[in-house]
Amino acid sequence: MTADPLAWLVSLEGVSSAYAATRDGIDVMLRDRGLRRTSPETTAESLLRGAHASAVLEGSSSSLEDVRSSGGDPIATDSVRLSTELLGLVPVLQRAPLQALARLHAVTAAGSVSDEELGRPRSAEAATRLRSLADLLAARTSAPALVVAAIVHADLATVAPFASHNGIVARAAERLVLVARGVDEKSLVVPEAGHLALRAEYESNLRGYASGSQAGVHAWLLYGAEAFAAGAEASPLRRAAE
């Protein structure tokens, strides 16, 4: 029997309870507020808000209204383009994780880097790390899907395997995992907005994760539970109920 590669993460102090509480909150929001308000337009709005927040975290200065009116700077345009194709990659992530991760970059970076760099790791070391992450996604684990999504995000953001747009790819992959693993099948939570609302903590905890220490990973996971809860608060379902 193959060992569960993520089991140790759930055993870290406070992680299991934090993620259980966050998942309960997401489930309540999706069930109670989404029961009669869910539509393709709501999903599209969630994806748009996420694309904007992710672009700002990547350095965009465009407003949400710029993005909504099909304007915005190149970073915002790239992020929105990925958001429009993201949900189509759910089955790809489920059957061929490495292909899905490569496609995230290819879509986002089109026109920004050479064709030879689209979806391709920037070095042999990056290729190895990317394959390891894809193997992790394909492995059986008892870890909550939210934990898996948080680890995928942090790995991509800190390893930066591609020539560009690694932050946008990392945040898109996180959302994709939430959809593919049944946490948020209609993609109504806006995790990118959660990270933007907690930007200082987001950037600090990514630096801690990049250190490779257990303390850094632990802090990132505790932060992640808080960020997912903030992402649920940013859902269009919340705003529709106000």
Could you tell me the CATH number of the domain that includes residue 160?
1.10.3290.10
Ramachandran region of residue 81, left (φ > 0), alpha (ψ -120 to 50) or beta? Answer: alpha
Q: What is the C-alpha separation between 163 and 5, in angstroms, rounded?
A: 28
34 pLDDT higher than 70? no
Instruction: Give the per-residue pLDDT at 242.
Output: 46
**First-to-last CA distance in the chain?**
50
The answer to whether residue 2 is domain-embedded is no
∠ at Cα 210 (224, 84), nearest 5°? 55
Q: What distances in angstroms separate CA 100 from CA 43, 177, 191, one per listed residue?
A: 21, 11, 19
- Distance (Å, whole) CA 92 – CA 118: 17
Top pLDDT among 16 and 242 is at 16
Average pLDDT over residues 146-172: 98
pLDDT digits 0-9 by tens, 91-139: 999 999 999 999 999 999 999 999 999 999 999 999 999 999 999 999 9
- Does 109 fall in a domain? yes
The answer as to whether 90 is a domain residue is yes
Average predicted confidence (pLDDT) for the chain: 95
Cα R_g (the chain), whole angstroms: 17
Tell me, yes or no, whether 195 lies in a domain: yes
Nearest to 22 by CA among 14, 11, 32: 14
Give the pLDDT confidence of 169-225 residue by residue, as tens digits: 999 999 999 999 999 999 999 999 999 999 999 999 999 999 999 999 999 999 999
238 pLDDT higher than 90: no
The pLDDT confidence band at residue 3, using thresholds 50, 70 and 90, is confident
pTM recorded for the entire structure: 0.95
Going from the C-alpha of 159 to that of each of 122, 197, 225, the distances in angstroms are 11, 23, 21
Give domain status of residue 1, yes or no.
no
Question: How many domains are there within the chain?
Answer: 1
Can you give the residue range of the structural domain that contains 127? 7-241
